[in-house]
Structure 1
Amino acid sequence: MDTVTINAKGISVSLDLTVGHIADMVIESGARRLKPLHRAPWVDAGETLPPDLPRGTVRLSGDFLCAPFSRSDVEEAPLHGWPANSAWDVVDSGATDGGWRAVFRLRHKVMGASVDKIFTLRDNHPFLYQEHVFSGGSGAISVAHHPMTAMKGGGSLAFSPKRLAATPADPLEPDPARGRFMLAYPGRSSDLGHFPAAGGGTLDLTDYRMDDRREDFLTLVEADHGGPGWTALARQAEDDLVLVLKNPAELPVTMLWFSNGGRDYAPWSGRHLGVLGIEDGRTAVGHAASLGDNWLKREGVATAFELGQDRVSFRHVIGALPLSGGGPPRAITTAGGHLRLAGAAASEVPFDSEFLRIGQPAAR
């Protein structure tokens, strides 16, 4: 069994057990079936791929746990670590009072820790509630979620308050014979509507345009605002609203990956179009960088969890709502069993407002 599917009323989620990637997610809203997550075009296509690709790139889908995020240069592992590239087992899966809960365990250890993935679906909630738990181990680990969505006609983004946005020193594709980028590297701005562009001037990070062929990566640092961290993407052609939520005390940064035909070599081959990664994490770029001195630590931002005898866990939510021609919300709040959106077509939907543990202290 390579894939397992769990269901509650109005929602289903499938996990690719060979790599721990979400293979599919379907939300039913009236007569509509919303599919917020992306699956790379080469997955299951039967084509010959470059032999040196990490297993996680071969099976690139949906969302997955990165531990560490990016380079595995402390403990030997593929890009984004064993949780994104190796097998998981079903530990428990069954109906609950009003939904479904499943527990999966990574066969590999990470820095000596066992890793569990817990999925919870609730009847008539358009969200996947997920938690990752590290038990035991030693040292420290950087982590990130890696949800990816894709658009046919572009979209508009909105965010919980961010302190700043910054690109790393080097672009993902510096060689013009292999790809292209649009942002300045390094670059920094506290105004997401005006980020330095590679050719001078500025670009609007809240506007995803399909005619911008690019491969870009940047990090958003959460501001102190006391609520959930969130990203909302209004997809134009799909006419829906993709939502990703976190607890900023656990996952203080959101990394954006703009992948829109910006790589010309296999397996990307200019066909990875309209993809946006919304990667909430506690990390710098690379495991060693996350543990050592880095620019985020100098900003007062944690970039790893300390492992040990205590249990370390963090939570994350992905969902989607119909849009009906509107734009992303101006604000999102969670309370009283509902998620409320200001300025969006759907103003209130069922939500487990206790799940993200807002206001509780995070693990070290």
Structure 2
Amino acid sequence: MDTISFAAAGISVSVDLRIGHIADLTIRTDGRELKPLHRAPWIDEPEAALPDSLPQGTRWLSGDFLCAPFSASDVEPAPLHGWPANSRWHPVESAAIPGGWRARLRLEKTVMGATVEKILTLRDGHPFLYQEHAFIGGAGELPAAHHPMTVMKTGGRIAYSPKRLALTPGASLEPDPARGRYVLAYPAKTTDLTAFPRTDGGVYDLTRYPADGAAEDFIVLVEADHAGPGWTAVARAAESDLFLVLKNPAELPVTMLWISNGGRDYAPWNGRHRGVLGIEDGRTAVGHAASLGDNTLKALGVPTSFSLRSGGAVTFRHVLGGLPLQSGSDAPRDVATEPDLLRASFPDGRTASVPFDGAFLDGVG
């Protein structure tokens, strides 16, 4: 079995068990089907058409997945983003619960000696996938992140919970112009998300997608101190929907944006990976070794790894969801949660409220 699927009223999920990616999230509401997650264009192509060196997580790139570590696996040998993103997961249980469905999966391999579990919960009438990951046992420091990706045919608008700072690492993803291109300055930083420095001396608006032509870029947003969850909201123009990603900032203090809009010219990307935005909430720097050593985020007081412990467990939670929007709607100015609902408030004064498990991100329930 390569896929497991399950559902609750108004929502369904499929997981690619080969690599643990959330292959599909479908939300049914107001007579519509919302499918906010991305699926790589080469997934259905034959193996012979793809590079032999391609990591399995890139070969079957889709939806959302766990990175442990995030980026380079240069402490314990593993592919890019670690074994959770590149190797098989096994269903432990998948069954109805009162008012919904819950599935628990276990990674075939261990990470730093830890058993890794993925707990996915759907609730009737909630347009959200509630995710929890657990590292059971093990030893050492481990950076980790989620890697949800959405895609926009004609772009969209993006809003965020308050951020303290936005910064790029020391080098771009594609420094060789024969292989790709980028537009952001590296390294650079700003507190104004509408005016991040570009390599040409201009500024890039991180609240619009795309803000420029073909490019491959990566930027880190550091959460500010504020009440409530951390969140990112993407109003997809052509799709007329709102993709929502929520976290507990105490667990996942950074949000990393992967802007992938035709900026890679080599296989399997071939300039066709367009309109994709990764919203990668984590506790990490870029790479395992970098996360353990001195880094810019640590200097700002931001933790960049979890401490595994023998006989104990490290867990963190994350939420993905979506709402229908009217064509051309803007991103919300605010997203707030209460015990039983989530409310998005828009610049034109409208609000949208939907059922939400307000205790979930606090580790309750």
1:66 maps onto 2:56 in alignment:
no
What is the CA-CA distance between 1:336 and the residue it aligns to? 2.7
CA contact under 8 A between 2:234 and 2:243: conserved in structure 1? yes
Q: What amino acid is aligned across from residue 190 of structure 2 in structure 1?
A: S
Alignment map for 1:264-283 (pairs within 5 Å): 264-283=265-284
Aligned to 1:197: 198
Cα distance between partner residues in 1 of 2:208 and 2:326: 19
Q: What amino acid is aligned across from residue 314 of structure 2 in structure 1?
A: V
Stretches of structure 1 lacking an aligned partner (at least 5 in a row)? none
Aligned to 2:331: 328
Aligned to 1:102: 103
Cα distance between partner residues in 2 of 1:45 and 1:96: 38
1:354 to 356, 359, 362: 359
Cα distance between partner residues in 2 of 1:55 and 1:303: 25
Aligned to 2:28: 28
Count matched residues.
359
Cα distance between partner residues in 1 of 2:315 and 2:210: 36
Aligned to 2:249: 248
Q: What amino acid is aligned across from residue 102 of structure 2 in structure 1?
A: R
Q: What amino acid is aligned across from residue 361 of structure 2 in structure 1?
A: L
Cα distance between partner residues in 2 of 1:209 and 1:327: 15
Change in Cα spacing, 1:350 to 1:242, as seen in structure 2 (3 Å) is same
Cα distance between partner residues in 1 of 2:108 and 2:178: 39
1:343 maps onto 2:349 in alignment:
no
Cα distance between partner residues in 1 of 2:133 and 2:213: 35
CA contact under 8 A between 2:127 and 2:323: conserved in structure 1? yes
What is the CA-CA distance between 1:327 and the residue it aligns to? 1.0
CA contact under 8 A between 2:205 and 2:211: conserved in structure 1? no
What is the CA-CA distance between 1:330 and the residue it aligns to? 0.8
Cα distance between partner residues in 1 of 2:26 and 2:159: 23
Q: What amino acid is aligned across from residue 51 of structure 1 in structure 2?
A: D
CA contact under 8 A between 1:74 and 1:288: conserved in structure 2? yes
CA contact under 8 A between 1:153 and 1:210: conserved in structure 2? no
Residues 232-262 of structure 1 show CA distances to partners (whole Å, capped at 9, x for unaligned) of 0000000000000000000000000000000
Aligned to 1:297: 298
Aligned to 2:321: 319
Aligned to 1:154: 155
Q: What amino acid is aligned across from residue 136 of structure 1 in structure 2?
A: G
Cα distance between partner residues in 2 of 1:264 and 1:288: 28
Cα distance between partner residues in 1 of 2:50 and 2:351: 42
Stretches of structure 2 lacking an aligned partner (at least 5 in a row)? none
What is the CA-CA distance between 1:210 and the residue it aligns to? 7.4
Residues 197-216 of structure 1 show CA distances to partners (whole Å, capped at 9, x for unaligned) of 11012111111127611000
Identity, in percent, stands at: 65
CA contact under 8 A between 1:322 and 1:346: conserved in structure 2? no
TM-score by length of 1: 0.97
Q: What amino acid is aligned across from residue 341 of structure 2 in structure 1?
A: H
Cα RMSD for the two superposed structures: 1.2
What is the CA-CA distance between 1:90 and the residue it aligns to? 0.2
Q: What amino acid is aligned across from residue 53 of structure 2 in structure 1?
A: D
